[in-house]
Structure 1
Amino acid sequence: MKQMLTIASPVFLLLLWEFLSRTGLIDIRFFPPPSAIVSTFFSLIASGEIVSHIGISMYRIFAGFLLGVIPGVIIGLLMGLYSPVRHFVSPIVMALMPIPTLALLPIIIIIFGIGDMSKVVTIAGSVFFPVVINTVAGVINIDKIYLDVAKNYGAGRVNFFLKIALPGALPVMLEGIQMGQAIALLTIVAAEMMGATSGIGYLIWTSYKAFLLQEMYVGLILISFFGYLFSILLRGIQKKMLPWR
């Protein structure tokens, strides 16, 4: 029943949109019917244009996501485990976190150029901070009894890091990673709008400027679809890694 309701809500929204467009209750110039958007999507697939945009955006998202998550997890674990590291790094994290990564995009483009690397670095910067903050919180909230047991049994630093800190921080850390993937999608669209010649964000922006709104909606729906897909995948990974939850 719950799965049916989950499917029913987007289907209902699309049917309502189709009905309102076809009956003229909403302006078809700005809100073309979903059936027309689907037709445009298949036309873009047939031409090969949309496949190219999806491929380059997915590459940038995954590369930027990994570049942000891996250092974020490592630094977050170190900050959570070692007070001197936390006190040294926290002011830097707290000072840089409020600055939107997109505000730094002009500087990033100057340093890395207008190619893929600037987009990857922009996404990495956006993903890094929620992962760090959640990982630190996850480590700090580990029950002290586990830390004491590990010390009493003479656990080495590697075992302590991999068998106590990492598993203990996983629940909160994975929430940060889940948040990071949503931010990565938001960032890639904005970054490709501002300084790119390809990608889904570029497709959305150029379609808007040319008033090709059906193509623009194709890009928007693709971003929504991938966000939903990535969220489901990460939830599945979370269930596998945290079966006790």
Structure 2
Amino acid sequence: MKKDYVTDPFEIEQREWKQKQKKERYKQLLTIISPIFLLMVWEVLSRTGIFDIRFFPPPTAIIGTFFDMIASGAMANHIGVSLYRIFVGFLAGVIPGVIIGLLMGLYSPIRHFVQPIVMALMPIPTLALLPIIIILFGIGDLSKVVTIAGSVFFPVAINTAAGVLNIDRIYLDVANNYGAGKMQFFFKIALPGALPVMLEGIQMGQAIALLTIVAAEMMGATSGIGYLIWTSYKAFLLKEMFVGLILISFFGYLFSLLLRGLQKKLLPWR
């Protein structure tokens, strides 16, 4: 039996494109199946008594508790407060981080002046400074926003500066040869060239923001997902505690997908 050999370049391209699309759908399916599989294993282990349901209640019971909290109106308040703090704090850390990172990468005097300060402050956990932040900014939203901004700033600034410094020298020479002005050089060369590494820093920053908000809301807060986790733990209301933990995990996954989608739009060649 003879095999059909495709010689038409268009048909070859179409076949390769379909194979690529099939692989992408398979990968997307795996990303959906994996968390569902984990929850199913957890459910079985809890229902069969292998897990102690006092400490690991089954996911179906946790989901029921989540809907009960939604119906009572308590959950919407916790989610809204935390998302507001995360969003504002994230922007407050990313914007100056990008600006200072670009300046550090572009101008050697600024880099030599700022870099020692950044390197000295970066190892200090922002949460260790939380008592001082609360003294300065109070126990309201502002202290939580400042804490998140401080945690997000450093990875964004460092990655942005590294992205500028790693730009291929040929692009700098072309810009100089064609007499590009400072603004043109900034927006046409520095910013696009640093974008791949910068976005990785921003991706890291969003993960740190979620870690920080939970810890920040455990101290000096009266609402938020972190507050919910901590008060539920102290009262041994473990279903409510797991609701908070799963919510943080869900938002982390969602924000990561959104940033990856933004990265594909801004960097289609990658």
Shift of 1:50: 0.5
Give the match for residue 187 of structure 1. 212
User: What are the equivalent positions in structure 2 for 1:2-21 lying under 5 Å apart?
Assistant: 2-21=27-46
1:197, 1:169 → 2: CA distance?
A: 40
1:63-118 Cα deviation digits (max 9, x unpaired): 00000000000000000000000000000000000000000000000000000000
1:41-62 Cα deviation digits (max 9, x unpaired): 0000001101000000000000
2:98 corresponds to 1:98: no
Give the match for residue 4 of structure 2. none
2:75 corresponds to 1:50: yes
1:150, 1:5 → 2: CA distance?
A: 45
1:196-229 Cα deviation digits (max 9, x unpaired): 1100000000000000000000000000000000
Q: Secondary structure of 1:243's partner?
A: coil
2:149 corresponds to 1:149: no
Shift of 1:16: 1.1
Shift of 1:2: 2.0
1:178, 1:38 → 2: CA distance?
A: 29
Give the match for residue 32 of structure 1. 57
Moved beyond 6 Å, runs of 4+: none
Q: Secondary structure of 1:194's partner?
A: coil
TM value normalised by structure 2: 0.90
2:91, 2:34 → 1: CA distance?
A: 33
Identity %: 84
Q: Secondary structure of 1:42's partner?
A: helix
1:78, 1:13 → 2: CA distance?
A: 45
Count of paired positions: 245
Q: Secondary structure of 2:196's partner?
A: helix
Shift of 1:151: 1.2
Of 84, 88, 96, 1:59 maps to: 84
Of 109, 113, 126, 1:84 maps to: 109
Unaligned runs of 5+ in 1: none
1:136, 1:76 → 2: CA distance?
A: 4
Unaligned runs of 5+ in 2: 1-25
Shift of 1:20: 1.1
2:132 corresponds to 1:110: no
2:38, 2:97 → 1: CA distance?
A: 38
TM value normalised by structure 1: 0.99
Q: Secondary structure of 2:218's partner?
A: helix
Shift of 1:154: 1.2
1:159, 1:121 → 2: CA distance?
A: 33
Aligned letter for 2:136? I
Shift of 1:3: 2.1
2:186, 2:220 → 1: CA distance?
A: 40
Give the match for residue 231 of structure 1. 256
Give the match for residue 41 of structure 1. 66
Aligned letter for 2:97? G
1:174-194 Cα deviation digits (max 9, x unpaired): 000000000000000000011
Give the match for residue 126 of structure 1. 151
Of 158, 161, 176, 1:136 maps to: 161
- The alignment's C-alpha RMSD in Å is 0.6
Of 185, 192, 206, 2:231 maps to: 206
1:59, 1:7 → 2: CA distance?
A: 27
Give the match for residue 201 of structure 2. 176
Rg larger in 1 or in 2? 2
2:196, 2:120 → 1: CA distance?
A: 26
1:243, 1:25 → 2: CA distance?
A: 47
Aligned letter for 1:200? I
